[in-house]
Every structure is written in structure tokens, then in C-alpha cells.
Amino acid sequence: MLHVFSINNQVVSLNEREQYVLNKKDKARLYKQLSEQAATQIVILSTCQRFEVYTEMRRGVQEKIKQVLIDFFDLTPVIFHRQFIEHSGDQALIHLLKVSTGLLAHVLGETQVLGQVKIAYEEAVTHQTVSKSFHTIFQSTFHFSKQMHKQTGINDHPVSLSYSAYQFIETKVSAPKTILILGAGNMGQLFIEYALPSQHRLIVLNRDQTKLIGLPETVTIGKLSDWPHYIESADVVVSSLELDSPLMTRTSLQLCQVENLLMIDLALPRSIEPSVQTLSGIELFDLDQLGETIDAHYFVRKQKAQIIIDCMTQEVSRLNSKLHSQQFDEERRTLFLERDQLLTEAMAGIDRQLPALSKKERTVIQHHLKQAVTKATLLKIEDLKGKQSNHHTFNTKERTHD
């Protein structure tokens, strides 16, 4: 069964979370240490928003994994217990479903996290830390999440300012455009993150140039003071600047002689003078207009999130039945393998003690011995079936390949 260690985002600050964002090399090192110490199935999810370790729920394993994490991140037990939460069994399955469907995302219902969980699973496959039960759990989770996203359309209603701004732009333009982004603070960075996968050309201007380090080469970067130069080639302007007075005024835009410009001001105080919308060809939208959209969309998302939660109980029950059936089949196969091994060893002993047996005598002895050993094996299987009868209906017959 599943067990998860998860960073508690409600109590862990952004600065504290930074150490849990692992590059490929560090993640490989952690996989190696966890595998060596715990020898269990492991999937590590490490993103800018989440850090989680999914493992098997087995006696003694959790304490070993906990100690590896404490040592790896140089934590004290007190800090570990403050920063991490744990879920086991059905609660761990529900947690994974909530993560994958985006119900625990920064933006409720965001579908991007499903891709991140898929990548984490694929990395675990590469590191050879997953086997049959984890394949079942994660592949079933992906199917459920995709189905819920499609069925509810929860991600069709933007609820963050940055994402709302990006989605708003997508509804206003019909082809790739040049987007001039003013400011690279938290809101600006989020907008950049949403816009990067698109075909739009991005220009990012900021006072502090160090915040622009690490942006892809496809993004044009520059100084904020040079905005009059860059705005001439822009189709869209998105500003999240924190200023005491507007950077862009009606007069300054008149001097730039801009035409057909879509402007979105996410700042408060405003960084774009409201009167610019009186200029021909300029459309300006501010926080109030976007906020009305967000309020309505968040209510819809909450309703759709509840639909997904209501479906999780049935999904967990279905998944548990499948896992218990798999476990039963594996234990049943092991019992028949043990029977075959016992029969082989017994016949080898008989051959040593009674080397003069004829072929017919040996066949008769082997037949009766196999019947006796098989009967004992089937009794064990019936006992196993009785212990798990609440979960599934099992087949106790011997299969041809056993």
C-alpha cells in the first residue's frame, strides 16, 4: 500500500522550500540513498511548489526513509516534523489523486501538475524504483486525473491574476504576438511561466537585471528605462510594476506613436495611466476588470473540485480492489512455486533413497505426492482468500503456467 511524505506548504516558507527543488543530479543521489537504505518502491516529486516522496507502506520502511531525508537535507527531527506531513493507505491514495488533479495546486484545478507527476513517475521508472503495484497506482491516477479534467473542465476558468491575464490575452488575439512584460516580481514571473510554452514572442524588462538571469534565450530581456524603444514592436503590454506613480502616461505613449495595443495593468497603485485608453487603438484592462472574472471563476472551480472529490472515494475503492487482486495473485503464484520446489526436493530425496524405482513406480509416487502438497497449498490459498475476501473475488485454481 502507499505512503507519502509531503512538504506542508501551509507552514513551510518559500525560502525553506527552495532546498527541496532538486536538480537531476541531486535527485539521482537521493534515489540511490533511499533505494539502498529502504529497498522499497519510490517516486520523488520535486517541483517549485511541491516536494513529495511516495513509498510502499511497509513495517520499518518509513523510519528509514525519514532518516535518509533528515540526513540528505541536513534537518533536525524537530524541523522535519514541522515541515513534513505523512499519509498512509487510502489517505495517501486520495492525496496523490488531489495532487494530480490539481486540487492542491497554487491555482485550484491547474492541469500542469499532472504533467509534473507523470515526469516524476517516468524518472522513477528510469531509476528502477517502481514495480507492479506502483505502476498500477500511478497509471490509474493519470487516467482518473485526465478523465476528471475533461469531464469537469475545471481548468477552463482562470483564478490567479497572472493566469487570468494570460488566458484573457489568448481570448483577444488570434495569432502569436509580441508581448512586452514590465516587471519580473512574483506576479511577473508567474505570467512568464504561463506564457513561455506559447508561440508568443516575449520581451521582459525589469529594473533589477539579476531577476532576468535564467530566462530562456528565446526571451528578449532589457532595462525598464528602455521601454519606449521596445513598445514600438509590442502588440500586448502586461505590467506588474510596483511604483508610486504610473510609468506609462497618455503623453508618453503619444510620443511613442503606438497603434493597436492591448494593455493589462496588474499593478496597484496603477503603473499605466487610465487615460491612455482614450488614445486611438489602445485597449486597457485593470485589476478590477480581471478581478470580476476571477471571483466568478473561483466559485465555479470550487464546485467542480467538489465533483472530483466526490468521485475519489469510488476511484480509491476500485484501485484498492485491483491492488488486492494483484497482491493475491502474486502470493498465490509464490505458494505454487514453493509447492513445485518442495515437490522437486522431495522427489530428489526419494530418488536418492530408492534408486531402483521403476519409471512407473516413480510416476505414481510423484502423482500422489503432488496431490498431497497441492492440497496443502490450496488450504493456504483459501486461508489467504478469507483474509482478503472483503476486497475482491479471487481465483484459487491452479493455472497452467504455475
Q: Which residues are catalytic?
A: 48
Angstrom distances, CA of residue 400 to CA of 13, 246, 333, 336, 397: 58, 79, 11, 11, 10
Instruction: Give the integer Cα–Cα distance in Å for 233 and 205.
Output: 14
Is 256 annotated for ligand binding? no
Is 222 annotated for ligand binding? no
Instruction: Give the integer Cα–Cα distance in Å for 398 and 392.
Output: 18
The residue type at 225: S
Is 248 annotated for ligand binding? no
Is 109 annotated for ligand binding? no
Three cell numbers, residue 191: 505570467
Picking from 220, 288, 231, the residue whose alpha carbon sits closest to that of residue 262 is 231
What burial letters (b/e) apply to 11-38, b meaning 16+ CB within 10 Å? ebeeeebeebebeeeebeebbeebbeeb
Angle, vertex CA 101, rays to CA 96 and CA 107, nearest 5: 115
Helix/strand/coil for 368: helix
Angstrom distances, CA of residue 249 to CA of 244, 245, 343: 13, 10, 91
Instruction: Give the integer Cα–Cα distance in Å for 156 and 257.
Output: 36
Is 263 annotated for ligand binding? no
Is 187 annotated for ligand binding? yes
Is 188 annotated for ligand binding? yes
Kindly report the number of other CB atoms within 10 A of residue 215's CB atom.
Answer: 16
Is 48 annotated for ligand binding? yes
Distance of CA 6 to the CA centre of its chain: 12
Which H/E stretch holds residue 202?
strand 201-206
Angstrom distances, CA of residue 289 to CA of 292, 295, 315: 6, 10, 39
Instruction: Give the integer Cα–Cα distance in Å for 28 and 106.
Output: 27
Three cell numbers, residue 240: 506588474
Is 110 annotated for ligand binding? yes
Is 50 annotated for ligand binding? yes
Is 278 annotated for ligand binding? no
- CB-CB contact of 104 with 312 (8 Å): no
Annotated binding residues for substrate = 47-50, 110-112, 116
Annotated binding residues = 47-50, 110-112, 116, 183-188
Annotated binding residues for NADP(+) = 183-188
